[in-house]
Structure 1
Amino acid sequence: MEKTYSLTAHYDEFQEVKYVSKYQSGTLPNSFALQLGAGAKKRRGGLPRWSRREVCLLSGLVFAAGLCVILTCMLVLKYLAAEGDSYCLEGCQEKKAFLRASRFLSANMDATIDPCQDFYSFACGGWLRRHGIPEDKLVYGTIGAIAEQNEAKLRALLSRPVRRRARASAERKVKEFFRSCLDRAEIDRLGPRPMLEVIGECGGWDAPPDRRDINELLYKTQGVYSAAVLFSLTVSLDERNTSRYVIRIDQDGLTLPERTLYLGQDEESEKILAAYRLFMERLLTLLGAEHVEQKAQEILQLEQHLANITVSEYDDVRRDVGSMYHKVTLAELQRITPTLKWKRLLDRIFHDNFSEEEEVVLLATDYMHKVSNLIRVTPSRILHNYMLWRIVVVLSEHLSTPFRDAIHELSKEMEGNEKQLEPGKICLSQANKHFGMALGALFVEEHFSSASKAKVQQLVEDIKYILDQRLDELDWMDEETRRAARAKFEVDEKTYFKNILNSIAFSIRLSVKKIRQEVDKSAWLLPPQALNAYYLPNKNQMVFPAGILQPTLYDPEFPQSLNYGGIGTIIGHELTHGYDDWGGQYDRHGNLVHWWTERSYSKFLKKAQCIVNLYDNFTVYNQRVNGKHTLGENIADMGGLKLAYYAYQKWVREHGPEHPLHHMKYTHDQLFFIAFAQNWCIKRRSQSIYLQVLTDKHAPEHYRVLGSVSQFEEFGRVFHCPKNSPMNPVHKCSVW
């Protein structure tokens, strides 16, 4: 007879059920022959009759056994899955991450473009084709997408309930500040009143002669509202002795971002100047001023006089810190600018009693002499109104909707801004500005791991190691200069309107206290959530905030070729700033010291001139890129690319080749360069390009990429570019 099996036939304890049918002749398999009905006859042979109780008991045992088997199977499967997951950490997880990376890269690219003809369009063509510029932005790119992700994280943090409610709690303050900024109904209800109170405290428009005290108003503008008028007054590291702070005075006081915009040298600057004049009239009207057109014209003419005596940032004098630096006593400063009462001004701002021998650093001696003459010949009423206007410019963005609308109209005319930022974005920006470190603490706590920090630190060390090697290989640098250069990087890194006024006052107090304090070289210029990186020559300090160490610039699960090409080239860029035309004027301690030998410096300038000439030949919208103005950034771009590439080669030698990316035919060396270029996939509004070329020390993104890769011999080799093709010219410029 054929055997029949129950569901539990594999388990020994239920073997009595396994062959049920052999006991039941003439019955269905796996069944029991039950005699039903009252008239059933008593069995004469075989096993005794099963009682209802026994049947129920056996059924219960079978059910329990089945349940145990199911649970056991589930546990076994779960165990096997866990074992598989742990095995998959290095296999499956890597595949998932690599698949994400390949999708990101390939979506941004345009493989129909020859990389040896136009590498930027090859690497970014797909991104440029698929993305527009959001209405509320002037510029948008791959880094802008990271910024949006960071902003979303920060806004989520600010929206949570306050955990630390103590009066001094930084978390409470930043969240309450954010909410006060979002309360647009209250801000609109107040209208211009907060600003009118400030103007009234300063004497009002057209103050009568007996209330026009230029020195008193200078104290309020510089020492209360932090508005630069006629000149800037700051506390900073002494460039020649960075162990101490010093008061620094420099040219300043213009509202538009570049002096040439006041001079009407072309059609675009004339258009901007007309828009600025209209903006002045709108704000003056909102603030209840009389004779608005006359006031606007007089203030504008005074700013034009300042523009005429201001030295352009393009000028060689402004690039040579050593030639600008003049340390003078207060007595000497008083002789240079006799129309100002310096001791009285500084005593009030710094709550001190300075002697006539107190030294300050003057960075614009000739300018300050001319400012003194300008004060002497300008009617005091116009000077007074100009100073009030500068305070209005600083504070008007924090006022009601009509003021914000006027600011937007000017921005639209200057740069093409189509739509105002929504209040949430504005308020996040202000929270970053006024409570940056408090917000940064919340950001780092939730969105930055110590593991990420450790990996990036290793990446930095690899790049610094390569820089050390490169210094040995430079045939134009002699040994004395090489020793000084090497020593340099071996250094350890270490109600709403009222809220704004309180924050400004607090910042001023912190600043003025520094003048008698020891220098803290570990202090950061930017908060941790900032999407930026920077090099401070007077601290010889590189900083990479957590905000920039985010995907896709840096992803610990991505191939290292992409991390070295992404964040690695930015790290290399900042490191190279220590050796460009600006950072190269500071020594390892951040002091303004000429550490080059004349022979090496002469060769450096010759090599730098090659880069100036290269970028001078680039044009965008019929504007020529200024190779001299962008020199420092171009040197850093080119040097950073080389350092990061050779650092990646070091990583490969130590860890072995990486697995290829799925569905991509490119080697990891090629992917390194693609990742570098995709840092700079960016679109700008055409109006904003005029100001970018005029004021930005970075070249337009297209040329940041083309200028860097075309001058690096390894790029031509990796992409097999023919000699003298656009991306592989025979004659190349190289400094580092």
Structure 2
Amino acid sequence: MAETINEPELKNDLYDAVNGEWLKTATIPGDHATTGGFTDLADGIEETLMADFDQLLAGQLDVNSDEMNQFKAFYQLVRDFDKREQDGSKPLKPFLDRIEALNNYQDLSDQLADWILTGLPTPFSLDIDSDMKNSTTYALFAGGPRLFLPDKTYYEAGNQAAQQLMPVFTKMMTQLLTQAGYDDAHASTIVKQAIAFDRSVAPHVKSAEEGADYSKMYNPRTLDQIAASTSQLDLKTAITTLVNGTPEVIITPEPDYFEALNEILSDDHFAAMKSWLLVKTVMGLSSYLTEEQRQTSTIYGRALSGRKEARNQKKAAYDLATGVFDQVVGDYYGRKYFGEAAKQDVHDMVVKMVNVYKKRLANNTWLGKATRDKAVLKLDKLGIQVGYPDQIDALYKQFKVTPASKGGSVLSNVMAFTRIRNLDEFARWNQPVDRTRWEMSAHTVNAYFHPFHNIIVFPAAILQAPFYSLKQSSSQNFGGIGAVIAHEISHAFDNNGSLFDEYGNLNNWWTEADNKHFHELAQNMIDEFDGLAYAGQTVNGKLTVSENIADAGGLSCALEAAKGEPDVDLRAFFLNWAAIWRQKATQEREQLLLAIDVHAPAKLRANVQVQNLDDFFDTFDVKPGDGMYKAPADRVKIW
């Protein structure tokens, strides 16, 4: 919680009253785009684990698993900076040579399955997730590629951010290509062609706002339909090879992209596409090479986020190694710093929040009984994962590091692990879904709800103060982790989660009248946030609606839970809610997130949601004329 509360300001701006003194003095580290809140917790975990892993490399820390021994070997390789300098661009050359050897689309088509397994870029994407209509089985999804700019809207005429960013991107990529061995003129041509190809892709992929609407994700296509989307590449052979079978249905979140693919992959575009493959590859792999290449590869990302400098060499090595072995590191962190007792305590808290939610549903006045009963059933079937998985994903048993003494480089090992990951991913197709599988490591400061699986996941890293602590009162904990827990539960009933039933199937379980009323309430939430001024721009209510519904449901549910405790203190509840959103960020990052992030800015999450709760006005005696006042008729209430 904030050290100093500005009492008079509580009625005008809750967030500033709680965090104002901190905001005056907080400084954003040069290698960060934010400080405070989530970032501070992540920095603390990083500091702890870096110290531990220094001991590990020095032989002063025993590890008790093969996976941790392989992590140690990889971390040693990553930290051998002299070897990385000696290797230079050599580890990258085989991949560039492979792209350079392409003379036409047929050359790519002939090796497409192996190309994808290798981890090389393609002008489309394939991945595996639960079938949206049959959540017990893994299905194949096909979509468009990621763009160079953060969103397709950046390619629209007159976009100011793009006019600033594209020259930075161009300069960085030209430098990276020259560092990889191309002469200046050739590098310049490659980048120019690559941007032209990216621009031809942009109109046909979804924007962040379009992608945030899950109701338009399920577009089933047959294998033949996907294969017919381009005459240049044999997608049918590639797909059947990758999944070792013949999918009857491929789910296509971006059908417009495949309708345009034949036009995108025209003969006239081949040279540009080849350049695009080179740029994507160099952009993606340069951070594994020399220090100069790593530093250069951060220039565009830093311009996007407003970070003043790249991570230092040692921290970047930690990021790289822990990113590759994320679940292994998460298991170590969870067991050492969280433990079974805390795991059970938080699990019990989640169950308590689920029960509060059930009670609220039972007393809901706008849902019909049939819809209410189905909503309660969805909560009964909700999977709960807390702290860390019971065991490390078997995938990591396959990760065997090739040391420098046997010709291994950082990049060669990363690409070997990438192939293992891709083989494992495609082997899941048509297999039973494993709902216990974690998609976030235990040392990640975050939480999530997966609508296709109907599960909520709370990694160990977020389960610390100010979110949760045995030293905090129950009201403080409910204003922190309680609201986060209920937020994730609420995702089961936001505008996207509500489309899926208790098994995670895309299945309309609402009556027509209830569905109509829900969408009217959701529109109120869109209207409440849409157009709010922030960081020189405005909030997109449609883009952020699902997270705002989850915030509102989570906060109101956590409030009810807090009121049920003998030591209830609503002032402490609301103050800690404001404290967990404490953040200072660069303007560049704030503006980027306004364009692409499904979450509203932290300050608005703190302030706007409390204005929907009658108890807030009573607790702080907020009256008409006060900055935080909102008339009862304007308070948005959904869950």
Regarding TM over 0.5, the answer is: yes
Q: Shift of residue 404 of structure 1?
A: 1.8
Contact persistence 2:547–2:598 (CA under 8 A)? yes
Is residue 635 of structure 2 the alignment partner of residue 728 of structure 1?
A: no
**Off by >4 Å, runs of 4+ in structure 1:** 162-166
CA deviation string 1:433-466 (max 9, x = no partner): 2112211221122111322222212221221122
The equivalent of 1:239 in structure 2 is 132
Which runs of structure 2 are paired with 1:299-318 in the superposition (5 Å)? 299-315=194-210, 318=211
Aligned to 1:40: none
Paired residue secondary structure (2:208): coil
Aligned to 1:118: 13
Q: Deviations over 1:17-48 (max 9, x none)?
A: xxxxxxxxxxxxxxxxxxxxxxxxxxxxxxxx
Question: What is the aligned partner in structure 2 of residue 695 from structure 1?
Answer: 596
- Aligned counterpart, 2:108: 214
Q: 1:255 to 1:217 in 2, by over 3 A?
A: farther
Report the counterpart of residue 77 of structure 2 in structure 1. Answer: 180
Aligned to 2:351: 461
Which structure 2 segments of 5+ residues have no match? 386-408
- In 2: Cα distance, 1:683 partner to 1:319 partner: 26
SS of 1:336's partner is coil
Counterpart CA distance in 1 for 2:520 and 2:335 is 48
What is the one-letter code of the residue matched to 1:203?
E
Measured in 1, the distance between the counterparts of 2:586 and 2:297 equals 18
The one-letter code sitting in structure 1 at the alignment partner of 2:638 is V
Identity of aligned residues (%): 24
Letter in 2 for 1:449: G
State the shift of 1:468 in Å.
1.1
- 1:7-406 matches, cutoff 5 A: 105-107=1-3, 109-161=4-56, 169-204=66-101, 207-208=102-103, 213-216=107-110, 218-225=112-119, 227=121, 229-290=122-183, 291-315=186-210, 318-350=211-243, 352=244, 354-355=245-246, 358-406=248-296
CA distance in 2, matches of 1:397, 1:504: 15
For the Cα contact (< 8 Å) 2:149–2:162, is it kept in 1? no
Secondary structure at the aligned position of 2:232 is classed as coil
Task: Identify the match of residue 322 of structure 2 among 432, 446, 449.
Answer: 432
Q: CA RMSD in A?
A: 2.1
TM-aligned CA deviation for residue 320 of structure 1 = 4.1
CA distance in 2, matches of 1:646, 1:149: 32
Give me the whole-angstrom Cα distance separating, in 2, the residues matched to 1:187 and 1:325.
Answer: 45
Please tell me whether the aligned partners of residues 329 and 360 of structure 1 are also in contact (alpha carbons under 8 angstroms): yes
Q: Show CA shifts across 1:277-328 (max 9, x none).
A: 112211222222352222211110110111122232323xx44434331222
CA change 1:727–1:217 in 2 (3 A) is farther
Alignment correspondent of 1:572: 486
- 1:77-118 C-alpha deviation (Å, 9 max, x unpaired): xxxxxxxxxxxxxxxxxxxxxxxxxxxx352x4415421211
Displacement after TM superposition at 1:525 (Å): 0.6
Change (3 A) 1:399 1:345: same
What does residue 394 of structure 2 align with?
A: none
Corresponding residue of 2:377: 487
Give 1:696-711 correspondences, 5 Å limit: 696-711=597-612
- Identify which range, 143-152 or 691-700, moves more after superposition: 143-152
User: Aligned-pair distance for 1:388?
Assistant: 2.6
1:203, 1:212 within 8 Å by CA — same for their partners in 2? no
Task: Trace 1:439-458 onto structure 2 (pairs within 5 A).
Answer: 439-458=329-348
1:515 alignment partner, SS class: coil
- C-alpha separation between the residues in 1 aligned to 2:110 and 2:29? 45
1:556 Cα offset (Å): 1.4
Name the SS of the counterpart of 1:236 in structure 2: strand
User: CA 1:319 to 1:439, structure 2 compared with 1: closer, same or farther past 3 Å?
Assistant: closer
Query: 1:358: Cα distance to partner?
Result: 3.4
Return the alpha-carbon distance in structure 2 between the equivalents of residues 467 and 319 of structure 1.
25
CA shift, 1:588, in A, is 0.7
Per-residue CA deviation, residues 667-702 of structure 1 (Å, 9 max, x unaligned), is x21011111111110000112222111111111111
Provide the C-alpha distance between the structure 2 equivalents of 1:221 and 1:717, rounded to a whole number of angstroms: 62
Secondary structure of the residue aligned to 1:544 is: strand
Change in CA separation of 1:113 and 1:182 when aligned onto 2, cut-off 3 Å: farther
State the alpha-carbon separation in 1 of the partners of residues 297 and 174 from structure 2. Answer: 12
Distance 2:305 2:433 in 1: 39
When residues 411 and 320 of structure 1 are mapped into structure 2, their CA distance, relative to the original with a 3 A threshold, is closer
Aligned mates of 2:62, 2:546 — CA distance in 1: 45
Amino acid at match of 1:196: K
Q: Which moved more, 1:569-578 or 1:246-255?
A: 246-255
* 3-state SS of 2:283 partner: helix
Q: Corresponding residue for 1:477?
A: 367
Aligned residue for 1:622? 536
- Which residue identity does 1:268 align to in structure 2? A
Residues 1:633 and 1:523: Cα distance change in structure 2 (over 3 Å): same
CA distance in 2, matches of 1:366, 1:337: 13
Question: Which structure 1 segments of 5+ residues have no match?
Answer: 1-104, 659-667
Measured after TM superposition, the shift of residue 706 of structure 1 is 1.1
Deviations 1:513-554 (A, max 9, x none): 111432111111111111110110000000001111123321
**Partner SS, residue 720 of structure 1:** coil
In 1: Cα distance, 2:329 partner to 2:87 partner: 28
Contact 1:123 1:674 in 2 (8 A): yes
- The one-letter code matched in structure 2 to 1:732 is R
Are 1:226 and 1:504, in contact at CA under 8 Å, matched by a contact in 2? no
Structure 1 residue matching 2:128: 3-state secondary structure: strand
* Correspondence for 2:468: 554
Give aligned pairs, total.
608
